[in-house]
């Protein structure tokens, strides 16, 4: 620990008790992430209200100010990353300015934009207020929030187009080129599928779209199972 950090710690330990901008936590080997988020938010808000430059959440110290040490994120870079992992303060302030939200809702929406899992309580509250859309675990911020936080493009990327859009796209591309392979169709649709989908989900979605067109008698595979060659059977 450098001399500046030692001086700050000694000053905090010499306080008569914890206060609105200083919290001590033993955190011997770890600490609950949800609680950390709440402490970060509360301490930051109090520091702003009191016009303080800093607030302190000190690990490895008991409530009685006894120093016991902590193995929670011993590497400095991992500890520093907590601020970004727990709460994006710029995003939180933007939400606070544009929405009538509670602190817990701000923290939960920050989780959504970072694609962190929500608790059942978070999910229930955000859904009840219409602040999120999508299905568990792939929630994304609702249109009303996106429009007020400059995230319109992100919202549109997350919200899937209806199936007919994708079906028409496949048919028009086949008509233009005469035939398409599965790889061609994947490349055609990949970047147009919602951002929340992972590789497996995108593969499954494209497969389902092809199957829907095949069952409707719109396209047919004139190739093989391993190397399909999809052609149109009906004009589009």
Q: How far is CA 53 from CA 43, 48, 49, 190, in A?
A: 11, 8, 11, 46
Together in a domain, 61 and 35: yes
Q: Which of 86, 109, 137 is the last residue of a domain?
A: 86
The per-residue pLDDT for 2 is 66
| Domain end (from 35, 66, 86) | 86
Structure tokens, 106? 């701000």
- Note whether 55 and 46 are within 8 A (CB): yes
Q: Looking at the structure, tell me whether residues 31 and 98 fall in a common domain.
A: no
- Same domain for 35 and 67, yes or no, is yes
- For residue 212, what are its two tokens? 């829907």
205: its two tokens: 């979605």
Tell me whether strands 132-135 and 56-59 are parallel, antiparallel or unpaired: unpaired
Six token digits for residue 110? 């920050």
Q: Please check whether residues 187 and 214 belong to one and the same domain.
A: yes
8 A C-beta contact, residue 148 and residue 138: no
| Structural domain containing residue 197 | 163-232
Which positions of the chain have pLDDT values less than 50?
none
The answer to whether residues 60 and 95 belong to one domain is no
User: Is 12 in the same domain as 71?
Assistant: yes
CB-CB contact of 61 with 31 (8 Å): no
Q: 186 to each of 51, 205, 208, 220, how far by Cα in Å?
A: 54, 10, 12, 17
Residue 74 shares a structural domain with residue 116: no
Co-location of 15 and 78 in the same domain:
yes
Query: What is residue 178's three-state secondary structure?
Result: coil
The pLDDT value recorded for residue 177 is 96
Answer yes or no: do 13 and 44 share one domain: yes
Positive or negative torsion for Cα 86, 88, 92, 93: positive
**End residue of a domain, out of 86, 119, 137:** 86
Confidence at residue 17, expressed as pLDDT on a 0 to 100 scale: 83
Number of helices (H) and strands (E) in the chain: give both, helices first.
Answer: 12, 6
99, 45: one domain: no
Query: What per-residue confidence (pLDDT) applies to 196?
Result: 85
Q: Domain total for the chain? A: 3
CA distance linking residue 45 with residue 43, whole number of Å: 5
**Any residues with CB less than 8 A from the CB of 153 and at least 6 apart, and which?**
none
What confidence score (pLDDT) does residue 102 get? Answer: 80
What Cα–Cα distance (Å) separates residue 66 from each residue in 60, 144, 187?
9, 48, 60
Q: How far apart are CA 138 and CA 110, in angstroms?
A: 14
């Amino acid at each position: 620990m450098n001399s500046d950090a030692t001086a700050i710690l000694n000053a905090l330990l010499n306080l008569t008790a914890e206060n609105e901008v200083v919290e001590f936590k033993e955190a011997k080997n770890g600490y609950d992430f949800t609680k950390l988020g709440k402490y970060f938010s509360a301490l930051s808000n109090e520091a702003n209200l009191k016009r303080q430059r800093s607030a302190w959440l000190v690990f490895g110290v008991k409530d009685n100010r006894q120093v016991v040490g902590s193995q929670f994120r011993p590497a400095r870079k991992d500890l520093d990353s907590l601020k970004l992992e727990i709460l994006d303060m710029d995003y939180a302030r933007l939400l606070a300015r544009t929405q009538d939200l509670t602190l817990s809702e701000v923290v939960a929406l920050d989780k959504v934009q970072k694609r962190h899992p929500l608790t059942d309580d978070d999910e229930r509250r955000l859904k009840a207020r219409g602040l999120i859309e999508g299905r568990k675990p792939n929630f994304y911020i609702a249109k009303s929030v996106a429009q007020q936080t400059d995230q319109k493009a992100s919202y549109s990327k997350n919200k899937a187009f209806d199936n007919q859009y994708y079906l028409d796209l496949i048919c028009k591309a086949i008509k233009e080129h005469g035939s398409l392979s599965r790889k061609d169709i994947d490349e055609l649709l990949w970047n147009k599928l919602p951002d929340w989908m992972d590789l497996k989900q995108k593969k499954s979605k494209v497969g389902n779209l092809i199957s829907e067109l095949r069952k409707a008698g719109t396209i047919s595979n004139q190739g093989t199972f391993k190397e399909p060659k999809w052609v149109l059977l009906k004009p589009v």
